[in-house]
Each structure stands twice: as structure tokens, then as C-alpha cells.
Structure 1
Amino acid sequence: MADNMDDTLGEAELVEGLERKKVSGKKVVIGVGALLIGAAAIFGVMSFMGGGEDHAEEDQMEQMAQAAAAKREQVQLEEDAPTEKLKTLFYEIPAQQYNLNTGGQGASFLRVQIQLEVDRESYKSDLDAKLPRILDEFNVYMRELRPEDLDGAAGIFRLKEELLMRINQAVAPTRVKDVLFQEFLVQG
């Protein structure tokens, strides 16, 4: 019976020892993980404080070089371009009438008279040369508009912004500053 008791005590001690090893094994894993996280944090801080200066200096030098190159390019463009005084000028587009998209529910028309605002006399002659392209952009866009797209001030504003974007794409590098409606009539 004593042997049996010793065996039971031996097994209990063995189980307890194994549980301690599991617990201490978990502590080791947790400790190693914490150590790795701490080392990564220290490395990150050191990189930010020490190594970051090298990168910051490099970035600053690169930005300065880009700014200098942009300035040289701007000066060159100004030297090459004929001196032209900026002023507010308007270019009148002939009155246009467009069928609006009603989805087959009758007919609806938009009649507009538009002026374009530019700031150089040379842009006006460029607009003359590119007027067919401008009118083509208008025709393609306006025929897809629905009468409800033009409701209220928000609808008109969206139309102005869309036309301005399309005009500037069509006449680049000339730049139109604004689209001004002189007449805007929806009939339907």
C-alpha cells in the first residue's frame, strides 16, 4: 500500500511539475513576444529620431531641387512667351438650341447664349480657331441632358462647371476662366 501511495504522490508531483512547465513555457513565450515588441518599438523610435533626419534632409533637398526646376521652367516660359497684359475679356459663342433627352416623353428644348471669360487677347483668336471643337463638345453633352438636370440654381451651376471643364479640354493649352449664360431658356 505504501508503494501504491508513493506511486500516487509521484504521479501528483509529476503532473504538478508538468503544469509548472506549461505555465513557465507560456511565460517564456509571452516574455519573448514582449521583448520583440519592445525591440521593434525602440528600433522604430531610433529610426525616426536618428535615421529619419537623413531621409528628412534628402526629402527636403529633393523638394528644393524640384522647386528650383519649376521656377526655372516658369522663368523660361515667361521669357519665351510674348509679353501680354492680363485683362478680363469675353468671347461670345453664337446662340445655340439643343434637344433635351426626355426619354421619348415629348419634346423639350434648351436655348442658350454663352460668353466665355478669358484673360488674354491671344486666347480669343485661339477660341475662334477651335470654335468647331467647342460646339461639338456642347452638342455631345447637351443632348444627354434631361429637363430635370437643369432645375434650380444647382442644376445651372453643375452645367456651367461641366461646360467649363469640357471647353478647357477642347482648347488646351488656352484656358477659359468662366462660362457665362447670357440667355438660358428651357422649353418643353
Structure 2
Amino acid sequence: MSDTDIDEDQTKPAKSKKGLLVGVVGAALLGGGAYYAVNSGMVLAPAQEVAEEKPIIEETEMATFLPLTPILVSLGTGSANQLRFHAELEVEPTKYEAVENLMPRILDVLNGYLRAVDIGELKDPAALIKLRAQMLRRVQLVTGGGHVRDLLITEFVLT
């Protein structure tokens, strides 16, 4: 071996792995981006079907409403406060006559409930939802399950 052979080995530059690292990172980024694009539907997504517009109110049986006799309730003892209440019952069309025959019981249960409610609770505007739910439940107990769908308050006036 000569001295020139040793000098040639020492003068060769070391191979850099920088290019390999940049290539691997770039491939990973491109692969991740492609996966996201396909998975999110930006690329190669199936054609979307145009959904038919559905009506907001579904077609159901026509509602039948049974008006209640207006109720005037004296509130508290010795006070001049009165409650004027009027409502309608949403009734199953086939059960209209049966519910109409129970009207005295319905009015009795509503009268009793409204007399028992505290005046302060009646004056609270947010309490009407709770009162309505309570009255509907009592009417449904009197009429039986499935006869009355809803109670619609048409007048609720404190004087």
C-alpha cells in the first residue's frame, strides 16, 4: 500500500443522510394529507344525493279540539284576586264524544287544582308551562290514557 491510497480514502466526503430524512418526512406528510382528503370526502367522494325537502309539520290525523267552559276562580281568602281561565283539549277524533261526556269531571279537577295553586306561583310568567303540564296530567287521569293529546290554554288572566 502506498501513501496515496490512504489519502484517497480520507479525502472522500462522508455520505449525508439529510436527503433521506427529508424524503421520508415529505412522504409521511403527503401520505397523511392524502388520507385526510379521501377520508373527509374532499377527493373521490361519492356524488351526494339531493335530499327531498320534508314538510316541517308531518301529515297526521286532523286534530279535534274540545273547548272547555271558561272557569272563574277566586284566589285566596278575602282577596279580590280572580283568575279567568279558558282552554281547549286536543282530543283523539274517535274519542271526542267520550271525552265530552266527562266534561263535568274535567272541569271539577281543573277547578280544584287552580284553587289550590298559590297566588305567587300564578303571577310568575314562567310557571304557566308547569301549570299547563299539571293540568294536562290531571285531565288525562280523568279521561283515561290516549284520549286527550294536549291542553291548549287560550285565556289565563289574573284580575
User: Which whole-Å deviations, capped at 9, do the CAs of 1:2-25 have from their partners, x for residues lacking one?
Assistant: xxxxxxxxxxxxxxxxxxxxxxxx
Report deviation, 1:152: 3.3
Which of the residues 157, 160, 170 maps onto 2:129? 157
Is this contact kept in 1: 2:87–2:153, CA < 8 A? yes
Does residue 173 of the first structure (1) align with residue 133 of the second (2)? no
Question: Residue in 2 aligned with 1:124?
Answer: 96
TM-score (norm 2): 0.57
Name the SS for the 2:69 alignment partner: strand
Measured after TM superposition, the shift of residue 124 of structure 1 is 1.4
The number of aligned residues is 100
Secondary structure class of the residue paired with 2:148: coil
Two-structure CA RMSD over aligned residues (Å): 1.7
Correspondence for 1:107 among 61, 80, 92? 80
Counterpart CA distance in 1 for 2:122 and 2:147 is: 25
Q: Which runs of 5+ in 2 are unaligned?
A: 1-59
Letter in 1 for 2:124: G
User: In 2, are the aligned partners of 1:91 and 1:116 still within 8 Å (CA)?
Assistant: yes
State the TM-score, normalizing by the size of structure 1: 0.49
Q: CA deviation at 1:174?
A: 4.2
Q: Which runs of 5+ in 1 are unaligned?
A: 1-84
More helix by share: 1
Q: Percent identity?
A: 26
**Maintained 8 Å contact 1:147/1:186:** no
Shift of 1:151: 2.5
**Alpha-carbon distance in structure 2 between the residues aligned to 1:152 and 1:141:** 17
Return the alpha-carbon distance in structure 2 between the equivalents of residues 132 and 105 of structure 1.
27
* Aligned 8 A contact 1:108 1:186 in 2: yes
